[in-house]
Amino acid sequence: MSSEASRVADDVKAQLQIKTQLANGGSGYLSDNDSAGRGGRSSRSRSTRGRSQPFFIGVAGGTASGKTTVCDSIMQRLHDQCVVMLSQDSFYRGLTDAEIENVTSYNFDHPDAFDTAAMLDCLNNLKAMRAVEVPIYDFTRHQRSSETRRVEPADVVILEGILVLHMEALRGCLNMKVFVDTDDDLRLARRIQRDVAMRGRDIAGVIEQYTKFVKPAFDTFVAPSRKHADVIIPWGRQENVVAIDLITEHIRMKLQQPELRRIYVNLEVIPSNYQIRGMHTIIRDASTSKADFVFYADRLLRLVVEAGLGHLPFTERSVITPTGSPYVGVDFAKKLCGVSIIRSGESMENALRACCKGIKIGKILVHRVGDKLVEQELIYEKLPADIAERHVLLLDPILATGNSAARAIQVILGKGVDEGRILFLTLIAAPEGVHRICRTFPRVKVITSEIDEGIDERTYQVVPGVGEFGDRYFCD
Ligand SMILES: Nc1nc2c(ncn2[C@@H]2O[C@H](COP(=O)(O)OP(=O)(O)OP(=O)(O)O)[C@@H](O)[C@H]2O)c(=O)[nH]1
Ligand SMILES: O=P(O)(O)OC[C@H]1O[C@H](OP(=O)(O)OP(=O)(O)O)[C@H](O)[C@@H]1O
Ligand SMILES: O=c1cc[nH]c(=O)[nH]1
């Protein structure tokens, strides 16, 4: 790899590591059935592997920056996946007769030129795995065709357009945001070429439109939206193959992740290895002695606590090492506290104290009233008086229905703690509990070591689970 290519590779890798937040995927193959040319592209799949939501990628950039080429390249590389591509251009509002009369005064680069509601509706339907009818826009007539293009549900949806990252509502739908960065001169040259050859314009008209509308809108809306991107791809006369490869590789990696981790950006499952799997095997074994259960549960709980602490903010700090050399490091976050959900949550207190000397730990006791699915009653709470100023590590080794955790989080929020400052640390989580907490409290970070199959309908125990954690940890 050339040094330039390797620099770009490092850049893209770093951007992906720092900012990318993702969701969903599946299987299929590409076959271009785009009847409208500029109407967006569609690639049909073999199957969507029963996914509940697609993974949305937004690709923005100035006019003629190469967005379509970037999308095509990503799609080609994801040829074994079920991918569809939509273009924001398909959602241009058709012009009225009066607007067409005066078309040189119409600003096609302003957000108002797009039917954003229709675009959102389309994305929401695809999100629910429903097929959509996408409008077909005719650039020569400035009108929507009477026909539409049917787009089937897919595992990956790529949305490209100049304002895809500018529009907040659209950004909210995207799991990955890409900005294609191309020199202004190059873009103008391409734009002239394209509009003359393919959109029935003359050179003078293209330049006039560019100066009057395209450039000002780029400066006002498009360029500032770069800051929302997870990845910025430098794009020039040649394709940035390295960047595309790395993005595709990253998407593939994310597509392989279990469903829940792709849906919820506030869920972290700590990476497993054979040590961790071995410890889980011991604590899940019904014949394990109490001493061994406690020993291995403690080791696992310590890992969960360490992973949770990794999500706290930090400040930079440099020190001098004994060799006299500087080491640029970080300082731990201040103002923390733990809150354990009595009784099982108390098993995590030692792990937290071992990591954070002298940390304040509060307690909450909730009680289920009869049926487990009924809202929990708060029996007791003892929390630090200044909890509203602290980051809160909420401790409970088992997340089953999520009722106990939800009630505890409500109590903590009621004390004035910002939702984004709550970390819920748990050893084993059932999908039902993950949905409950991650959906209800999207800014609470949930950190767990393993996600199990589900909850037993009769006993409400996590399956395969560990049985009653509190009994096995505390009782002889
Ligand atoms: N004159 C005219 N321009 C239009 C019309 N509709 C859209 N545009 C222009 O189309 C542009 C949006 O398309 P681009 O982002 O350039 O197209 P693209 O093919 O996705 O660009 P790349 O793939 O990045 O090369 C805007 O800058 C608008 O000015 C129209 O009906 N008439
Ligand atoms: O997500 P949920 O459905 O609310 O279930 C999880 C709760 O169940 C367990 O406690 P349990 O009520 O068994 O009490 P214990 O801690 O005293 O063992 C566990 O420690 C959680 O607090
Ligand atoms: O499986 C479960 C569910 C709730 N509480 C437990 O201790 N275990």
pLDDT digits (tens, 9 = 90+) for 76-112: 998 878 899 999 999 999 999 999 999 889 999 999 9
Q: What's at 322, amino acid-wise? A: P
Quote the ligand 3 centre to 398 CA distance (angstroms). 6
CA distances for 462 relative to 236, 396, 427, 441, 453, angstroms? 53, 14, 12, 21, 8
468 C-beta closer than 6 A to ligand 3: yes
Of 55, 41, 122, 435, nearest in space to 264 by CA: 435
For domain 3-256, which CATH number applies: 3.40.190.10, 3.40.50.300, 3.40.50.720, 1.20.120.420? 3.40.50.300
Nearest ligand 1 atom to the CA of 87 is 20
Nearest ligand 1 atom to the CA of 95 is 31
Fold classified for 264-474: Rossmann fold (3.40.50)
pLDDT at 6: 55
Q: Rounded to whole angstroms, how far apart are CA atoms 434 and 320?
A: 43
Quote the ligand 3 centre to 447 CA distance (angstroms). 17
Quote the ligand 1 centre to 199 CA distance (angstroms). 9
Q: Please, which residues bridge with residue 157 across strands? A: 56, 84
469 C-beta closer than 6 A to ligand 2: yes
Of 90, 102, 110, nearest in space to 35 by CA: 90
Q: Which two tokens stand for residue 384?
A: 């630090």
**Could you tell me which residues come within 8 angstroms of residue 302 by beta carbon, excluding any fewer than 6 positions away?**
351, 354, 355
CA distances for 85 relative to 56, 70, 89, 158, 281, angstroms? 10, 11, 12, 5, 44
Q: Rounded to whole angstroms, how far apart are CA atoms 149 and 151?
A: 6
pLDDT at 449: 97
pLDDT at 37: 31
Task: Report CA dihedral (56, 62, 66, 71) to the nearest 10 degrees.
Answer: 10
Residues 458-475 have a mean pLDDT of 96
Q: Write down the pTM of the prediction.
A: 0.56
Quote the ligand 1 centre to 58 CA distance (angstroms). 17
pLDDT at 226: 94
- Mean of pLDDT over the chain: 87
Q: Which residue has the tokens 């020993």?
A: 295
Note if the bond before 458 is cis, omega within 30 degrees.
no
pLDDT at 239 over 60: yes
Q: Is 168 left (phi over 0), alpha (psi -120 to 50) or beta?
A: alpha
255 C-beta closer than 6 A to ligand 3: no
Give the mutation target among 63, 194, 203 for probing the ligand 1 site: most ligand atoms within 8 A of CB: 63
Helix (H) and strand (E) counts for the chain?
16, 19
Q: Which residue has the tokens 């490209």?
A: 160
Q: Which residue has the higher pLDDT, 316 or 413?
A: 413
- Under the banding of pLDDT at 50, 70 and 90, the label for residue 35 is very low
- Under the banding of pLDDT at 50, 70 and 90, the label for residue 4 is low
Helix, strand or coil for residue 229? coil
Please state at what angle helix 274-284 crosses helix 290-309, rounded to 10 degrees: 140
Q: Where in the chain is the domain with CATH 3.40.50.300?
A: 3-256
| Residues with C-beta less than 6 Å from any ligand 1 atom | 61, 63-68, 89, 92, 108-109, 139, 142, 160, 162, 209, 214
Nearest ligand 2 atom to the CA of 342 is 16
Q: Is 334 exposed, middle or buried (0-12, 13-18, 19+ CB in 10 A)?
A: exposed
Q: Which residue has the tokens 């640390």?
A: 425
Q: Where in the chain is the domain with CATH 3.40.50.2020?
A: 264-474
pLDDT tens for 397-424 read: 999 999 999 999 999 999 999 999 999 9
Q: What's at 340, amino acid-wise? A: S
Pair 145, 136: CB distance under 8 Å: yes
pLDDT tens for 141-198 read: 889 999 999 999 998 999 999 999 999 999 989 988 999 999 999 999 999 998 888 8
pLDDT at 247: 87
Complex confidence, ipTM: 0.53
- Flag the least confident range among 58-67, 77-86, 338-347, 408-417: 77-86
DSSP state of 256: T
Q: Which residue has the higher pLDDT, 289 or 27?
A: 289
Quote the ligand 3 centre to 400 CA distance (angstroms). 6
